């Protein structure tokens, strides 16, 4: 399962993480979000051993999470953003083939500076 983030946990789990965080911004009432949910959960399983990737979800309707959606410019959902140290390095809006999310993660990982 993907890590459920809130406004309280987002800074530590996403913005301060020294790797890529794939964040699915979603809501319970969103049909396409329900279609994408299992794909995101499968990605979380696939990348569970990868110390450079974290897969997470933010329910934009939970208390305080609307501020996260606003800060990250989420205008429609599902909205999946690849973050590196809190900065957006890639994005997919809507539901795509699972391969698109793998490509998003790969492209985002390619932007991580090599360890000195």
Per-residue pLDDT of 41-57, as tens digits, reads 999 999 999 999 999 99
33 part of the active site? yes
The residue segments making up the domain with residue 62 are 3-109
Residue 9 lies in a domain: yes
Residue with tokens 């205008």: 75
What's the CATH code of the domain at 101? 3.40.30.10
Q: 30 an active-site residue?
A: yes
Q: What's the domain count of the chain?
A: 1
Beta strands in the chain (DSSP E): 3-5, 20-26, 53-59, 79-84, 87-93
pTM of the model: 0.94
The residue annotated as part of the active site, out of 20, 33, 39, 55, is 33
Q: Determine the pLDDT at residue 43.
A: 98
115 band by pLDDT with thresholds 50, 70 and 90: low
Tell me if 16 is assigned to some domain: yes
What the block records as the tokens of 77 is: 């959902």
- Could you give the CA distance from residue 42 to residue 112 in angstroms, rounded to a whole number? 23
User: Residues 5-21: pLDDT tens digits?
Assistant: 999 999 999 999 999 99
- pLDDT of 116 reads 42
Say if 63 falls within a structural domain.
yes
80, β-bridge pairs: 24, 92
């Amino acid at each position: 399962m993907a890590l459920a983030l809130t406004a309280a946990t987002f800074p530590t789990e996403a913005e301060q993480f020294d790797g890529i965080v794939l964040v699915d911004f979603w809501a319970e009432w969103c049909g396409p979000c329900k279609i994408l949910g299992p794909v995101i959960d499968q990605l979380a399983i696939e990348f569970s051993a990868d110390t450079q990737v974290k897969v997470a979800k933010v329910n934009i309707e939970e208390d305080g999470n609307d501020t996260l959606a606003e800060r990250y410019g989420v205008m429609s959902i599902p909205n999946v953003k690849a973050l590196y140290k809190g900065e957006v390095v890639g994005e997919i809006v809507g539901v795509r083939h699972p391969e698109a999310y793998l490509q998003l993660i790969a492209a985002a990982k390619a932007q991580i500076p090599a360890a000195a």
